[in-house]
Amino acid sequence: MFKGILIDKDEHGYRAALKDIDDSALPEGNVTVRVAASTLNYKDGLAITGKSPVVRKFPMVPGIDLAGTVEASSHPDWRVGDAVVLNGWGVGETHWGGLAEKARLNGDWLVPLPLAFTPAQAMAIGTAGYTAMLCVLALERHGVKPSDGEIVVTGAAGGVGSVAVALLAKLGYTVAAVTGRPQEADYFKQLGATTVLDRAEFANPGKPLAKERWAGAVDTVGSHTLANVCASTKYGGVVTACGLAGGFDLPATVMPFILRGVTLAGVDSVMAPKALRLQAWQRLATDLDLAKLGLITRTISLAEAIPVAQQLLDGQVRGRVVVQIA
């Protein structure tokens, strides 16, 4: 038996609870992992509360991320004792995930735990931090350099936003943090932001083109915020879009794209190919300041993950949450 959060949906409703689960209930897979730590991302909040239909099969163990040690493997890449990390691939949505003491997975989904990180640090990064790195890589791929000007990060107090601010600042970019928590100005300054802006300035319909300000952007919010960020991006600038915390619509015009050559670059972490994942984790190992990661992170137990999931959706969680399991 092992402990895990189990989500059920039936005639009694949608509910998540900490349960004792029999090993025989684990899904198919060629690698069994003893989970050391997991985390709560926005998507885990949606899964645990049932606010959006993230979970596609029931019962489901949520948790789109895990870090731990291989306990059994018939996959050629993994041996007993290997330290591994998993992000995405539908885990915690269609396949049992990381918010449990054990997981059984497809070995193709795993990457090695970078030597630079403990399992808890890897989970402090989690999908949110790995996605922030994918956004930074996309900005670089499109040629955005620190000397080009300010980079704006929206949803900056969230998980993706906090790691993005820390990474960009470390890489020498000038960072503006857009947030609904301007009272957290000290937090953003410690992460390396030079400017803190109130998200209310971005939340309403704006002009098709506004004053040119940003050389690049990491947008985790979507909707009017993303439209306004595109409208105020400088000629030739690059906007990476990865989130929908403010809405999945995009009420924008083509003007920034056809008159200023702005690039809108989509970023997906879930199905990202393995080579890109390995690159992102390798860059996190070199470009993320561990002291800043500590500042961003709070640690909770498996049992606490259920109430904290609701707090995360309510915007009451700052930065990242590690769920310590072993």
Is residue 237 involved in binding ligand NDP (CB under 6 A)?
Answer: no
Closest residue to ligand NDP using C-beta atoms = 158
Least Å distance between CB 180 and ligand NDP?
Answer: 3
Is residue 98 involved in binding ligand NDP (CB under 6 A)?
Answer: no
The answer to whether 140 and 175 are in contact (CB under 8 A) is no
The SS3 call for residue 158 is: coil
Is residue 129 involved in binding ligand NDP (CB under 6 A)?
Answer: no
The residue from 97, 158, 206, 237 that contacts ligand NDP (CB under 6 A) is: 158
Is residue 128 involved in binding ligand NDP (CB under 6 A)?
Answer: yes
Least Å distance between CB 243 and ligand NDP?
Answer: 3
The residue from 39, 41, 228, 240 that contacts ligand NDP (CB under 6 A) is: 41
Q: Is 183 exposed, middle or buried (0-12, 13-18, 19+ CB in 10 A)?
A: exposed
Nearer to ligand NDP, 26 or 122 (CB): 122
Q: What letter represents residue 112's amino acid? A: P
Nearer to ligand NDP, 102 or 181 (CB): 181
- d(C-alpha 194, C-alpha 104), whole Å: 44
Torsion of CA 308, 21, 128, 289, to 10 degrees: 90
Dihedral (CA of 38, 41, 43, 49) sign? positive
Distances in whole angstroms, Cα of residue 54 to Cα of each of 24, 101, 164, 205: 25, 22, 24, 29
Q: Which of residues 170-229 bind ligand NDP (CB under 6 A)?
A: 179-181, 199, 220-221, 225
Q: Is 317 left (phi over 0), alpha (psi -120 to 50) or beta?
A: beta
b/e 208-233 (16+ beta carbons within 10 angstroms → b)? ebeebbbbbbbbbbbbbbbbbbbbbb
Count interface residues toward ligand NDP (CB under 6 A): 31
The answer to whether 150 and 125 are in contact (CB under 8 A) is no
Interface segment toward ligand NDP; rule CB under 6 A; list 11-19, 41-49, 91-99, 105-113: 41-49
Is residue 103 involved in binding ligand NDP (CB under 6 A)?
Answer: no
The answer to whether 235 and 212 are in contact (CB under 8 A) is yes
Least Å distance between CB 6 and ligand NDP?
Answer: 22
Nearest partner of 292 among 134, 39, 121, judged by Cα: 121
Is residue 97 involved in binding ligand NDP (CB under 6 A)?
Answer: no
The residue from 4, 155, 206, 237 that contacts ligand NDP (CB under 6 A) is: 155
Nearer to ligand NDP, 4 or 155 (CB): 155
Least Å distance between CB 11 and ligand NDP?
Answer: 30
For ligand NDP, the binding residues (CB under 6 A) are 41-43, 127-128, 131, 155-161, 179-181, 199, 220-221, 225, 242-246, 267-270, 312, 315
